[in-house]
Amino acid sequence: MERLSTPRIYNCEILENRPVGGLFLLTLALDEVITARAGQFFLIRIDREDIVLRRAFSIFDMEENRLSFLYRVVGKGTAWLSDRKVGYTLNIFGPLGNGFSLTGDRCLLVGGGSGIAPLYYLGKSLKGEVNFLFGAQTGSFFDKDLLSRYAEIGKLEIVTEDSSLGKRGLVTQYIDDNYARIYACGPVEMFKNIKTDIPVEISLETRIACGFGACRGCVVKTTKGEYKRVCKDGPVFDLREIF
């Protein structure tokens, strides 16, 4: 089993932070090589007096001494982050969480909206056949060059609600059982609409505070009535454990 890096604070210089379709691609320089599993995340400090909590971002890619995140601007914290320029130093904490299992000889990676973020590093980490299935409301959400990076790893299929790119409809309409395992990340409604008998691992997107499970601010209720901490027990869970 791989030996993962112990979570700690890093001060990282921004190498790039630019829009890619409806998202932003942030790449940081690391002062050492970090070992992390696809599906793990980092907490980034937002240097604003009115924002106390760090923001959680799943790993988009890791390569030698570079660490990348793919994120969507949804509030004051991510708006502040999107304004940071090359050369700015960010304070980050991680890697945190459990990550994906990395099993299955033929896998389908399903991403809804910004849920495509952790699936690139996952696709690179899997040993078997990789297939991507991405969905969004409209085609302008996707950046052509970004999609080409995924397509270099495996077969890529796009679904948009307005049929402006790829097939028309919801991404869950095009999921079938011809795979050993499905990995998915996206909105809650997407998870609820996944109907299949094969194993499905999901990465939950939620507000995270401490990152260690101590504050219990990110708990979710399981189908058995138990409570799990997204930051510590997750963010990756079996679909049937949560929905």
Selection from 133, 2, 1 nearest residue 62 by Cα = 2
Q: 167 to each of 2, 63, 136, 206, how far by Cα in Å? A: 38, 33, 11, 29
Across 55-81, average pLDDT: 97
Across 153-163, average pLDDT: 98
Which class is 106-205 in CATH?
alpha beta
- The arrangement of strands across the sheet holding 129-136 comes to 167-168, 155-160, 129-136, 106-112, 181-185, 200-203, 236-238
- Burial of residue 184 (number of CB atoms within 10 Å: 0-12, 13-18, 19+): buried
Question: Does 1 have pLDDT greater than 70?
Answer: no
Domain ranges of the chain: 8-96, 106-205
DSSP-derived pairing of the beta strands 200-203 and 155-160: unpaired
pLDDT given at position 199: 97
pLDDT tens per residue, range 191-213: 999 999 999 999 998 889 888 88
Classified as helix, coil or strand, 76 is helix
pLDDT tens per residue, range 35-60: 999 999 999 999 999 999 999 999 99
DSSP-derived pairing of the beta strands 155-160 and 129-136: parallel
pLDDT given at position 95: 97
The CATH H-level superfamily of 8-96 is: Translation factors (2.40.30.10)
Selection from 147, 87, 95, 122 nearest residue 201 by Cα = 122
